[in-house]
Amino acid sequence: MATVIALLVLCLPVVTLGYIGFCYASPWGTCRRCSTARKRRTCRACDGTGMRPRIGWQLYVYLRRLHRDGTR
């Protein structure tokens, strides 16, 4: 059991760093609401573009803005 926990703890930063790199490489993902429904109607989630910023990217933009506003 301890080995499993140790493995999970080891994997967590790797997965996090991988996700950060993934978000940095392609910050825009496809809109799930549009891709499944395939409706041409204007989507409220993405404004009909079919592209949405990833949650990690949104977090990065939010933190960057917070840092910029805080250090001004």
Using CB under 5 A, which of 45, 51, 63, 66 touches Zn ion? 45
Contact assessment for residue 23 and residue 56, using Cβ atoms and an 8 Å cutoff: yes
Max CA distance (Å), the chain: 52
Contact assessment for residue 61 and residue 53, using Cβ atoms and an 8 Å cutoff: yes
Reduce the DSSP state of residue 49 to 3 states and report it. Answer: coil
- Confirm or reject binding of residue 53 to Zn ion (CB under 5 A): no
Residue whose CB is less far from Zn ion, 51 or 66: 51
- Confirm or reject binding of residue 43 to Zn ion (CB under 5 A): yes
- Confirm or reject binding of residue 54 to Zn ion (CB under 5 A): no
What are the residues binding Zn ion (CB under 5 A)? 31, 33-34, 43, 45-46
